[in-house]
Every structure is written in structure tokens, then in C-alpha cells.
């Protein structure tokens, strides 16, 4: 009877959250449509180009998406940090701020990519105030719905999904707008040359997301292991944070202007990601078999891919980079799935007033 009552309570809470998300979607559409119509003005515009609709709609969608996440977080997780010591609450707040920026960036980049795709299939289309406002409303509604739902109950797997999606969207947009159509003959970093803000910006935000994923990995490990494992957990979080900084540095140091620092940052990102993956796997209690097998397999495949590229040169650097990123995302998928199984959902405040590692 008690289990049935708990199940009914959980179902009621989930349905209530879904209803709130629907209202948030409607509110996001209205705000986006009205705001978009006001910003776009009355002159018909194409989807892309110097005076196109894409940029103002992307800005509106980003603002609405970030606002939806903030409102949802304040509504559903405001008291979560109250019983936490200051250091733990600070980590939680900083992670939320980073996610707010990431949600805005994902929404903006998604609109820009969609506009590039639609402009190729709808050549000659021009929209004025009403049509542009409706597009802004739809884009804002999609972003607001996703962000509000994430604020209700954010899991590590959700952040990893945001990272995967953002990398794909940002890279595709950079490809679609690349000044050099033969960029692939060199490497992915070529997309960031010549003022390629789309690819460089994607790497910066992706670095922010990698560091945030590391923070949530630490949160889940703490829920599993408690304060006794804070030293191991802090090491894991620090490694992911440094990896995120290195990835962001790849975007902040364009290849065409700063080739040596760029290459150093790129190699450091690969090395740090590998070390962070191994240290994270070792931090788990009883070494989950799925994660252990995936970690060993991914590290071995990365080494083999690098050797085959540098030695006999069976493929180019672009292919190598795609393989390494794909293997990294495969490993992270296994990690977040294992965390979803093992980590409790309830928040776990630390009993330590200060973060003193032992």
C-alpha cells in the first residue's frame, strides 16, 4: 500500500510538472512572438543575410530560453542549497549560471542552423512583422519548453545530452557557413580560421559544458559515496574543469592566428579528457563492469586511431578528430547511464563546513 501511495504521488508530481511545462511553452511563444515582432519591424526580410531574420530571432529565442530555465530553477530548486555549506552551495549556483548561458547558446545556434537549412529550401522567402514574429515565437517555445523541463529535475545525462546536441549543431552551422569549402582537407580547426566565430564560439561554450558536466558528475558521486570520498571527487571535478578550460582555449586561440598555442590546447584537451575519463572510472565503488569495459575499449581505440593516422597515415586529421570526439561521446554516454542507475535522486548536503581535502 505504501509503495502504491508513493507511486501515485510521484505520478502526480510528474503530471503537475508536465502541465507547468506546457504553460511555460505557451508563455514562451507569446513572449517570443511579441518581442520578435517588435524587434523585426515592418519591412519584409529574408531568412539569412546581412539584414536577415535569423540573428534577431536567435537572440530572442536565447533570451526566452535562458529566462525559462531561470524561472524553473527558482521555482523548483530554490531551497535545494539551503542546507548545504557555503562551498557546496557556491558550486551549485555557479553550475546553474553556466547552464543558463549554455541553454541560451544552444537555442541561438539551433535557430541559426535551422535558418541556414530553410533558406536553401525556401529561396526567395521574405517575412514581415507577423511572419517573423511567429517564427520567433515558435523558436522561443521550443527552447523555453526544453529549458523549463530541465529546471524541474536536471540530471547529469541531460547536461551530457545538451553537450552532444550543441557540438553537432554548432559544427554543422560552422560547416554550412564556412568560407573555405575544402576545410575538411586540413582539420576541424580550419573552420575557426578567418573569423570563424561559429566554430570558435561552439568550442568555448562546449568547454563550459564539459566543466559543468564534471561538476554534476561530482554531485552524483557525492550522493553515492558521501563526504568520505570528497578527495577523490574533487580530483574528478578539477580534471573535468581543466579539460573544459583547455577545450575553450582551442576556440579562443584560432589556428590561423595562433597556431602553436592552438595545437598545444588541442593536444592538452585530448590528453586531459583521457585522464579525466580514467580517473572518473576509478572513482566508482566496485568498478561497474559496463563503465570499465567502455573505458578500456575507448582508450585503446583512441590510441590505435592516433597511431594509424600518424604512422601509415591511413586517413587525415579531420577523420581522426571525428573518431576521437565520437569515442569520447560514446564513453560519456555510458558514464551518465551508469550514474543514472547508481546515483540517488535526492540532494545530499555535505556535513563539512569547508572543503578541506584529506
Q: Is the pLDDT of residue 124 over 80?
A: no
Taking only the tens place, the pLDDT of each residue in 152-165 is 877 888 888 888 88
Q: What is the mean pLDDT of residues 135-141?
A: 92
Q: Given this model, what pLDDT does residue 326 score? A: 85
Q: Is residue 316 scored above 90 in pLDDT?
A: no
240 vs 340: which has the higher pLDDT: 240
Query: What does the pLDDT read at residue 123?
Result: 76
Query: Could you give the CA distance from residue 137 to residue 145 in angstroms, rounded to a whole number?
Result: 12
CA distance 223 to 325: 29
Q: Which residues contact 128 (CB under 8 A, 6 or more apart)?
A: 40, 42, 43, 44, 45
Residue 184 has pLDDT above 70, yes or no: no
DSSP 142: H
> Does the pLDDT value for residue 355 go beyond 70?
no
The chain-wide mean pLDDT, for the chain, equals 84
3 state SS of 126: strand
- How far apart CA 151 and CA 104 sit, in angstroms, is 14
Average pLDDT of span 319-346: 85
**Helix, strand, or coil here: 56?**
helix
Above 60 in pLDDT, residue 358? no
* Residue, of 179 and 198, whose pLDDT is higher: 198
pLDDT tens across 30-59, in order? 999 998 888 887 778 888 877 788 889 999
pLDDT value of position 195 = 59
pLDDT mean over 314-322: 77
pLDDT of 120 > 80? The answer is no
Is it the case that residue 71 has pLDDT exceeding 60?
yes
Mean of the pLDDT values across residues 143-152? 88
State the pLDDT at residue 5.
Answer: 58
For the stretch 191-241, pLDDT in tens is 766 656 778 888 888 899 999 999 989 989 988 888 888 888 999 999 999
For 260-302, the pLDDT digits (tens) are 888 888 888 888 988 998 899 888 877 788 888 998 998 899 8
Taking residues 99-118, report their average pLDDT. 89
Query: Which of 113-127, 174-188, 208-222, 231-245 is the least confident region?
Result: 174-188
**Do 103 and 95 meet the contact criterion of CB atoms below 8 Å apart?**
no
Please give the Cα distance from 191 to 177 (Å, whole number): 9
The pLDDT value given to residue 129: 78
What pLDDT does 231 receive? 87
Residue-level pLDDT at 2: 55
User: Mapping DSSP to helix (H, G, I), strand (E, B) and coil, where does residue 45 land?
Assistant: strand
CB 233 within 8 A of CB 200: no
- What is the band of 185 on the pLDDT scale with cuts at 50, 70, 90? low
Q: What is the 3-state secondary structure (H, E, C) of the chain?
A: CHHHHHHHHHHHHHHHHHHHHHHHHHHHHHHHHHHHHHHHCCCCEECCCCCCCHHHHHHHHHHHHHHHHHHHHHHHHHHHHCCCCHHHHHHHHHHHHHHHHHHHHHHHHHHHHHHHHHHHHCCCCEECHHHHHHHHHHHHHHHHHHHHHHHHCCCHHHHHHHHHHHHHHHHHHHHHCCCCCCHHHCCHHHHHCCCCHHHHHHHHHHHHHHHHHHHHHHHHHHHHHCHHHHHHHHHHHHHHHHHHHHHHHHHHCCCCCCHHHHHHHHHHHHHHHHHHHHHHHHHCCCCCHHHHHHHHHHHHHHHHHHHHHHCCCCCCHHHHHHHHHHHHHHHHHHHHHHHHHHCCCCCCCCCCCCCCCC
Residue 9 has pLDDT above 90, yes or no: no
CA distance 314 to 107: 38
Count of C-beta atoms within a 10 Å radius of residue 84 = 16
Rounded to two decimals, what is the model's pTM?
A: 0.86
Give the model's confidence band at 29: pLDDT under 50 very low, under 70 low, under 90 confident, else very high. very high
Q: Which residue carries 535562458 as its cell?
A: 66
Neighbour-count burial of 158, counting CB atoms closer than 10 A to its CB (0-12 exposed, 13-18 middle, 19+ buried): middle
What average pLDDT does the segment 182-192 reach?
69
Amino acid at each position: 500500500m505504501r509503495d502504491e501511495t508513493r507511486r501515485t504521488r510521484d505520478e502526480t508530481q510528474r503530471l503537475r510538472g508536465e502541465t507547468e511545462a506546457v504553460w511555460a511553452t505557451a508563455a514562451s511563444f507569446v513572449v517570443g512572438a511579441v518581442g520578435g515582432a517588435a524587434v523585426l519591424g515592418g519591412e519584409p526580410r529574408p531568412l539569412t543575410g546581412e539584414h536577415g531574420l535569423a540573428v534577431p530571432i536567435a537572440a530572442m529565442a536565447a533570451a526566452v530560453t535562458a529566462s525559462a530555465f531561470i524561472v524553473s530553477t527558482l521555482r523548483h530548486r530554490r531551497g535545494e542549497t539551503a542546507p548545504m555549506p557555503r562551498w557546496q552551495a557556491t558550486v551549485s549556483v555557479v553550475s546553474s549560471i553556466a547552464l543558463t548561458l549554455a541553454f541560451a547558446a544552444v537555442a541561438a545556434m539551433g535557430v541559426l542552423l535551422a535558418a541556414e537549412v530553410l533558406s536553401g529550401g525556401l529561396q526567395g522567402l521574405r517575412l514581415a512583422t507577423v511572419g517573423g514574429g511567429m517564427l520567433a515565437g515558435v523558436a522561443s517555445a521550443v527552447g523555453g519548453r526544453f529549458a523549463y523541463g530541465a529546471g524541474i529535475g536536471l540530471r547529469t545525462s541531460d547536461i551530457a545530452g545538451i553537450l552532444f546536441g550543441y557540438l553537432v549543431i554548432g559544427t554543422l552551422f560552422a560547416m554550412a557557413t564556412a568560407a573555405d569549402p575544402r576545410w575538411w582537407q586540413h582539420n576541424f580547426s580550419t573552420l575557426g580560421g578567418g573569423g570563424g566565430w561559429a566554430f570558435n564560439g561552439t568550442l568555448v561554450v562546449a568547454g563550459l559544458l564539459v566543466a559543468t558536466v564534471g561538476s554534476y558528475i561530482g554531485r552524483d558521486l557525492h550522493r553515492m559515496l558521501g563526504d568520505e570520498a570528497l578527495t577523490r571527487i574533487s580530483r574528478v571535478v578539477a580534471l573535468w574543469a581543466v579539460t573544459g578550460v583547455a577545450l575553450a582555449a582551442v576556440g579562443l586561440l584560432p589556428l590561423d592566428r595562433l597556431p602553436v598555442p592552438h595545437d598545444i590546447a588541442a593536444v592538452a584537451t585530448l590528453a586531459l579528457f583521457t585522464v579525466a575519463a580514467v580517473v572518473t572510472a576509478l572513482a566508482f565503488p566496485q568498478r561497474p563492469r559496463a563503465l570499465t569495459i567502455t573505458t578500456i575499449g575507448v582508450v585503446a581505440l583512441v590510441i590505435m586511431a592516433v597511431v594509424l593516422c600518424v604512422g601509415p597515415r591511413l586517413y587525415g586529421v579531420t577523420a581522426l578528430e571525428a573518431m576521437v570526439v565520437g569515442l569520447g561521446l560514446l564513453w560519456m554516454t555510458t558514464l551518465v547511464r551508469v550514474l543514472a542507475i547508481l546515483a540517488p535522486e535526492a540532494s545530499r548536503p555535505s556535513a563539512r563546513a569547508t572543503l578541506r581535502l584529506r
